[in-house]
Amino acid sequence: MLDVSSKWRPEPDWALARLSGPGITICPVTGLTQRLVSGDVDRFLARYDLGRDVGALGLALGERYAVRVARDRLLVVGVSPAELADGWHDEGWAVTTVSAALRVVEARGEGIRDLLARGTTLDPDDPGPCAAMSFAGMMATIYGHAEAGTLRIHVDRGLASYLWEWLECQPLLGGIGEPAPR
């Protein structure tokens, strides 16, 4: 069988991966518990004392929070399977663990607005209620975390290498249109 693996760049070593440029630093975030909740999301938020969900570029605080990804769907971070089992719940929602399906990248610094301008058509001054959007040519969930100037990007794990290469090519990270060698 023909081996075409040499045509593809190897996946980054996510434990060590880091990009930085003037005013911005980007690194993966590992170890997050990520769950999709579908159904009566308002009731779910009240039941698990998560407050309000955040939308596009909203600011999520703490280790447990919810991000709106559709009208009746949340990406919930930090609620463990021991607290909340997967499957249908009689209170009106369904839960699916997606921790292994999504890779999370965090960007920090003054260059966030430039990164957003390059990756999406979203107006950062009027972002909207849904954090799921097109970014760098793919669907991603994007919101602020912990403090202003910090951006989290959740992407399908299979597209994370593409996102990393796209980030490497950005002029704000010293890229000139070609990925840096690994």
Name the residue ranges covered by the structural domains of the chain: 12-31+101-172, 34-97
Residues 6 or more apart whose Cβ sits within 8 Å of residue 158? none
Q: Residue 147 above 90 pLDDT?
A: no
Mean pLDDT value across residues 74-78: 97
Mean of per-residue pLDDT scores for the chain: 92
Q: Residue 180 above 60 pLDDT?
A: no
- Chain position carrying tokens 């100037």: 149
62, amino acid identity: G
Q: Residue 6 above 80 pLDDT?
A: no
Confirm if 151 and 112 have CB atoms less than 8 A apart: yes
The CATH number corresponding to 12-31+101-172 among 3.30.830.10, 3.40.50.300, 3.30.200.20, 3.30.1360.120 equals 3.30.1360.120
